[in-house]
Amino acid sequence: MKYARERKAFGVPIGEHQMIGWMLADMATAVDGARLMTLKAATLKDTGRPYTKQASMAKLFAAETADEGGHGRRAGPRRLRLHPRGRRSSAISATPRSRRSTEGTSQIQKLVIAREVLK
């Protein structure tokens, strides 16, 4: 956001250009959606209700949202990013200490979600 406010093109901050504004709006909407999905899964868990599907959906959506923010979107010499340079978020791997159904790659998250939807 700071970069979009400070970097100028054609005499105005790039954030004021319609296409950059749309990209920022899409990113902000996706980040808020990921946050809300995570809160929903956490609320279900905290209240003792089934949460596997919602947790997997939140993890998948958040990882893909983070990736979308860093894929080649350029405004001048720097990329508009949601995550650190060179990091690919959706390549989530299961930790050796935990083998829960809500951990794994994006493809595994999709399998978990499909299984839960078909129940």
The per-residue pLDDT for range 68-103, each reduced to its tens digit, is 775 444 444 444 444 444 444 444 544 444 445 445
Residue 80 in tokens: 């508009």
Whole domain around residue 73: which residue ranges?
Answer: 14-118
Distance CA 49, CA 10 (A): 54
Selecting among 16, 64, 68, 103, the annotated active-site residue is 103
The per-residue pLDDT for range 33-44, each reduced to its tens digit, is 999 999 999 999
Q: What is the count of structural domains for the chain?
A: 1
What DSSP character marks residue 82?
S
Question: Which residue type, as a one-letter code, is found at position 41?
Answer: A
> Would residue 67 count as lying in a domain?
yes
> Would residue 32 count as lying in a domain?
yes
How high is the pLDDT of residue 11?
Answer: 93
> Would residue 3 count as lying in a domain?
no
Return the CATH number at 56. 1.20.140.10
Is 103 in a helix, a strand, or coil?
coil
Who contacts 64 (Cβ-Cβ below 8 Å, separation ≥6)? 89, 90, 106
> Would residue 7 count as lying in a domain?
no
- Note if 103 is an active site residue: yes
